[in-house]
Amino acid sequence: MKLVFTEQSLNSLEETLNFIAPKVTYAKLIEIRNEILDAADTLLLHPLKGGKEPYLEHLELGHRRLIVGH
């Protein structure tokens, strides 16, 4: 199994981090980013973790998505 980040997912991550950046310290921002990326890494060991990605189901490749935090 391999973990692939789509361009859209990386753009969403960047937008999210830019949105919260003025509200938190740089250290907290890095902690949040790492928490999100670490959660994605867990798919390598637990590939059925998280929900199926409805927007990619038509590809029939088993894409999953995770929601971290609120």
pLDDT for 17: 96
Residue 9 CA: distances (Å) to CA of 4, 25, 27, 41, 53: 10, 23, 22, 14, 12
What is the C-alpha to C-alpha distance for residues 69 and 7, in angstroms, rounded to an integer?
21
Residue 27 CA: distances (Å) to CA of 10, 16, 23, 30, 60: 20, 16, 12, 5, 39
Q: What is the pTM of this model?
A: 0.77
Between 2 and 45, where is the model more confident? 45
pLDDT tens by residue, 11-63 = 999 999 999 999 999 999 999 999 999 999 998 899 888 888 899 899 998 88
By the 8 A CB rule, do 32 and 17 touch?
A: yes
